[in-house]
Structure 1
């Protein structure tokens, strides 16, 4: 048992509740800060929505982002695969006219062929085959993705392996895959901004919110390594990791 009062205080973050896809508990208190990208996903999305007749938001989380993009096209749907998020999204978005659809498989989306002329996707998986099926001709697909090596320094410091299933996932792979399925790439960018944690409790909360970073994460298993990161933060004032982000705007030809 580590006898450090400050460390013991911070690890109580394991008891904090996380819901939807809302990191304001960390961001609004300044306990975590993200580096700046050269693009704004929201700024790119807004004019596309104004031109669309039918749109789909893939992986809407609790609907936090989509709820701020009104007014919507005449037809608008959103998918979510994480069951606890579905009622949150419904409560937030259905009064605004959004149809929420819970899904289990990216390869079998419950929509008719040629249903949407705009599909947006922020940090959600997708199947190019299904995108091609449900998009109209000249329909637009916009996605911002998290690369497979995202925040790998967390895993290194904890002595936890990266998920090899996603090591290949980067801009080049995603562009090639979309082009192979009949998409024309209109714009694409990839960057690696820093993410800074100012206390170990913020990192613990973050790892609870995104369990795929370290799938077997528990305080008990990683306590010694967490304490080493805590000492880094106490010495430097922060713990930095490198994010991986890329964005693609494509049109179906």
Structure 2
């Protein structure tokens, strides 16, 4: 028995994964960052807004990091997963931002034209018609999306070869935004390198990013994890790639 293998699995399986903070991976994994610096740009957009909405805010960490000095007079955020919603409430309410529980796929609980800025970082799904509805004419949607073919190497390692959809490709998302009545201001995509330096980092990542391997459990994939542990011991890391898209769209003014 390899005690280090079992210890790494146990540690990662017991670590908390609520919120959208990846600091547990410090020293255990690295992810190349996009060149544009989303949080800084988000702060600039917020400072110029009068009423803003952050969709699928997670634990509120990204939004909080972009303010509060940049926060507009009216700021709301949505989140649907209860542990994240509770965490975001504790973080954002003292900063003057209201957290509203919202389940993905349902109508946003806001009036038409309520916001001149809607933002999101790494939304699970993008409800373009709803975004267009709640934007005031002349208002903007500004977001960083997880792009197409993200983590394909990691997913294929556990699930085998699979067909990758195109719904996250920049051209497809731009077309969806236009179909909802929005104009594309900018749409930039970069492919980035992701490295895991121990098998525990992979376990923790897959517990948090549940869509990468939807049926993942340590028990189900224990033998594959053992092979991954041996691979990292030989090669020094498991390398995957990810993708990020910076997208800005505007609702036409009358």
Same-fold call, TM cutoff 0.5: yes
- Say yes or no: does 1:7 pair with 2:9: no
Shift of residue 36 of structure 1? 3.0
CA distance in 2, matches of 1:10, 1:112: 48
Confirm or deny: 8 A CA contact 1:179 1:185 kept in the other structure.
yes
CA distance in 2, matches of 1:97, 1:163: 44
CA distance in 2, matches of 1:110, 1:177: 22
TM-score (norm 1): 0.93
CA distance in 2, matches of 1:43, 1:21: 17
The match for 2:30 is: 33
**Equivalent position SS for 1:244:** strand
RMSD: 1.5
The match for 2:204 is: 205
Shift of residue 249 of structure 1? 0.9
Shift of residue 223 of structure 1? 1.1
Structure 2 runs not aligned, ≥5 long: none
Per-residue CA deviations over 1:115-147 (Å, capped at 9, x if unaligned) read 000011101122111111100011010111112
Confirm or deny: 8 A CA contact 1:162 1:213 kept in the other structure.
no
Confirm or deny: 8 A CA contact 1:107 1:129 kept in the other structure.
no
Confirm or deny: 8 A CA contact 2:29 2:194 kept in the other structure.
yes
The match for 1:150 is: 150
CA distance in 2, matches of 1:121, 1:8: 37
CA distance in 2, matches of 1:163, 1:130: 29
Q: 5 Å matches for 1:1-253? A: 3-12=1-10, 13-27=12-26, 30-68=27-65, 69-71=67-69, 72-124=71-123, 125-160=125-160, 167-253=166-252
Per-residue CA deviations over 1:190-236 (Å, capped at 9, x if unaligned) read 11101100000000011111111111111121111111111111011
CA distance in 1, matches of 2:99, 2:61: 13
Shift of residue 25 of structure 1? 1.1
184-193 vs 166-175, greater mean Cα deviation: 166-175
CA distance in 1, matches of 2:49, 2:15: 39
CA distance in 1, matches of 2:93, 2:82: 16
CA distance in 2, matches of 1:88, 1:162: 35
**Equivalent position SS for 1:219:** coil
Q: Return closer, same or farther for 1:66/1:179 CA change in 2, 3 Å cut-off.
A: same
Structure 1 stretches of 4+ with a deviation exceeding 3 A read: 160-164
CA distance in 2, matches of 1:83, 1:148: 27
133-142 vs 173-182, greater mean Cα deviation: 173-182
* Matched residue count: 248
CA distance in 2, matches of 1:187, 1:42: 17
